[in-house]
Amino acid sequence: MRRATSFTENVPTPARLTFSVLTLFPELLRPFTQEALLGKARAKGLLDFRLTDLRDYAGNKHHKVDDPPYGGGAGMVIRVDVVERALADLRAVDPPDEVILLSPAGPRFDQHMAEELAGKRHIALLCGRYEGFDARTESLITRELSLGDFVMMGGEAAAACIMEAVGRLVPGVIGDEESHRQDSFSSGLLDYPEYTRPAEWQGQAVPEVLLGGNHAATERWRRDQALGRTLTRRPDLLAQATLTPHDSAALLALGVSEAQLRDWGAPAPPKVKRKR
């Protein structure tokens, strides 16, 4: 049987994180792993990507991996013995820490999961097609993950999303480590708006606070903007966010009630000092 294709054979040091993707269409993912920051991280030996074609484990001369479902029904189902052989070959070479089945039935992938997975050494991603995998495949995996409540034609796009979300958190992949902590969702809030030149465009000016050089005022403005954006666009996130007393004061100013703050578990706003 043909081994998985790896893109780091000439890199002398082991990668900090390896992704093995088991798929019927490895060529869909090959360019994605060779370009931009993921490609640079691969070249530096920080990440490795191994693409396994499930058809290599079909066990027949026609490389047929699927069959009609028992009990009838539309579509074709990928056989469990095909997956078992592919995973056995993978484990014999380099056992993965996680074998993740990409499925709409799994819990929704989020930033906290990305941070957890970034601490692993080797992650295998199992991409389905057609009507999915034989249900007994679930006995071969460690977990299922979904991107959300919608259906795609296969798991390759989801695998690409997970590899980028997780891979970018590996130290050295992104030059500015501080950017991780400022990302949307990493703080529990959506990100604040960013501006660059020109300072004015079609009557829209960059906020004055960003031009004044007062770093404390800039940080407070950015935090307030993140709170406002989250309140407007994703208020559900505020129940899980770590909020400060100053955040509570900003949210009250934005029209949030004290009862809502209590429901979110937010601390009380700072007490206003009265002048004597």
Nearest residue to 133 (alpha-carbon basis) of 157, 104, 113, 110:
104
> What is d(CA 273, CA 230) in angstroms, rounded to the nearest whole number?
29
Kindly list the catalytic residues.
Answer: 104, 131, 168, 183
Find the radius of gyration of the CA atoms of the chain.
Answer: 24
Between CA 76 and CA 70 the distance in angstroms is: 10
Are 180 and 234 in contact by the 8 Å Cβ rule? The answer is no
Cα separation values, 56 from 24, 34, 92, 133, 196, Å:
9, 23, 16, 16, 50
Pairwise CA distance, residues 238 & 203, whole Å: 33
Separation of alpha carbons 172 and 40, rounded Å: 10
Question: Beta-carbon neighbour count of residue 219 at 10 Å?
Answer: 11
Query: Comparing C-alpha atoms, which of 98, 160, 99 is closest to residue 133?
Result: 99
Residues 166, 115: Cα–Cα separation, whole Å: 7
